[in-house]
Amino acid sequence: MVTFLYWFGAQPNICLADVSMVRQVLSDRTGIYPKNLTNPHFMRLLGKGFVLTDGNEWKRHRKVVHPAFNMDKLKMMMMTMSDCSRSMMSEWELELGAKGGLVEIELSRRFEELTADVISHTAFGSSYKEGKQVFLAQMELQFLAFSTFLTVQIPGFRLLDKKVRGMLMDIIKTRQANKDVAGYGNDLLGLMLEACAPEHGESRPQLSMNEIIDECKTFFFVGHNTISHLLTWTMFLLSTHPDWQEKLREEIAMECGDEVPTGDMLNKLKMVNMFLLETLRLYSPVSLIRRKVGTDIELGGIKMPEGALLTIPIATIHHDKEVWGEDADEFRSKRFENGVTRAAKHPNALLSFSSGPRSCIGQNFAMIEAKAVIAMILQRFSFILSPKYVHAPTDVITLCPKYGLPMILKSLKL
């Protein structure tokens, strides 16, 4: 794939589509390829948390946030994921019962609600209802942020951002006020407040209140948005590949039976994992990665000036026949049967969660949630794509179906 220079106004941009060069950039630990923070509205949406910070600032944020995503904490979160999924599917079953065993449901919206419930519970615990209101405001911010990418100013953006920050501050103040009774809590917010508590002294890596709010915004955007779209595109591909729908259902029946999947059960779902990875390849939630050149440098024989922007086109790389083979545009989940590093001609070709030291800290969270939800759906339902579906993947910061995902569901339990 060709690497080329293009200009956006007076700003030089380099499209970096060579996987070896991409690996050099993403694996760098010296800080010469910092994050590109040119759009202030995007920063307000995502929060200047660990995703958008660099250098020592990033290390400080990561020390506070990283423990929330260890495997023991993720296993505790699995119960929340399962409970939220069960609640969603109970609603589906009620609709099926009322409509004679077949019902059409628009799934992308339902998955947005589900993943918002999961992240609200796991981030805010007992305060999830208030957290859900933050999520709804964040959704408005996302579309406003996308509208400003070409510097179009949208009235109300700052006011809405101020509202989001105010709601998060209220949740945090309530948690701090109740600390002596119930502690800070075992959710993501509680873990951050505990790590930053004054009683731990200056030796602990601390975040300011504004930084904790930014991390909460990051959790919402990354933990909700990307996972809901992964679930949506997985269901789309399962409906268009009914043979794989049956294969996965058989694997789930063998490893989980009718039980709610546990972490150990999910680890044994090899074909489900392969299917999710192929979905991420074909419909990566994020279509590109941006970096900045921090100093004059030569990369892959190309001289790059300080300040140039690097665009890593994930969607293009994921469909590159030189990397993935002649069937790169086709669905073939078996390419992942020997793992991610052997699926393509380059071990770092799958970039949905980025790679290197700045790879997505929540990728295990995302994969566990996606496996659990898909397994529980396949235990209970069969489904086909509605004739109303129009295939129009649209990039609104993340890749979503423009007209939703209407699906016809049938219960396997009735």
* Structure confidence at residue 63 as a pLDDT band (50, 70, 90): confident
pLDDT number for residue 178: 81
pLDDT in tens, 332-363: 999 999 999 999 999 999 999 999 999 998 99
pLDDT number for residue 264: 93
Mark out the alpha helices in 186-331 (DSSP H runs).
Answer: 188-195, 209-220, 227-240, 242-256, 263-267, 270-282, 314-318, 321-324
Cα–Cα distance between 175 and 165 in angstroms, integer?
A: 15
pLDDT number for residue 372: 97
| Domain range enclosing 161 | 31-286+352-411
Domain annotation covers residue 314: no
Q: Is the pLDDT of residue 150 over 60?
A: no
* Structure confidence at residue 68 as a pLDDT band (50, 70, 90): confident
Q: Quick check: 220 and 167 in contact, CB under 8 A? A: no
Domain annotation covers residue 174: yes
Domain annotation covers residue 339: no
pTM of the model: 0.92
Domain annotation covers residue 347: no
Q: Quick check: 370 and 333 in contact, CB under 8 A? A: no
pLDDT number for residue 152: 55
Domain annotation covers residue 316: no
* Structure confidence at residue 267 as a pLDDT band (50, 70, 90): very high
pLDDT number for residue 205: 59
Backbone angles phi, psi at 334, to 5 degrees: -65, -15
Domain annotation covers residue 97: yes
Q: Quick check: 107 and 405 in contact, CB under 8 A? A: yes
Does the annotation flag 360 for ligand binding? yes
Domain annotation covers residue 324: no
Q: Is the pLDDT of residue 39 over 80?
A: no
Least confident of 129-138, 213-222, 361-370, 385-394: 129-138
If one counts the domains in the chain, the total is 1
Q: Is the pLDDT of residue 283 over 90?
A: yes
Query: What CATH number does residue 370 fall under?
Result: 1.10.630.10
Q: Quick check: 23 and 348 in contact, CB under 8 A? A: yes
Backbone angles phi, psi at 266, to 5 degrees: -60, -35
pLDDT number for residue 99: 87
Domain annotation covers residue 135: yes
pLDDT number for residue 276: 98
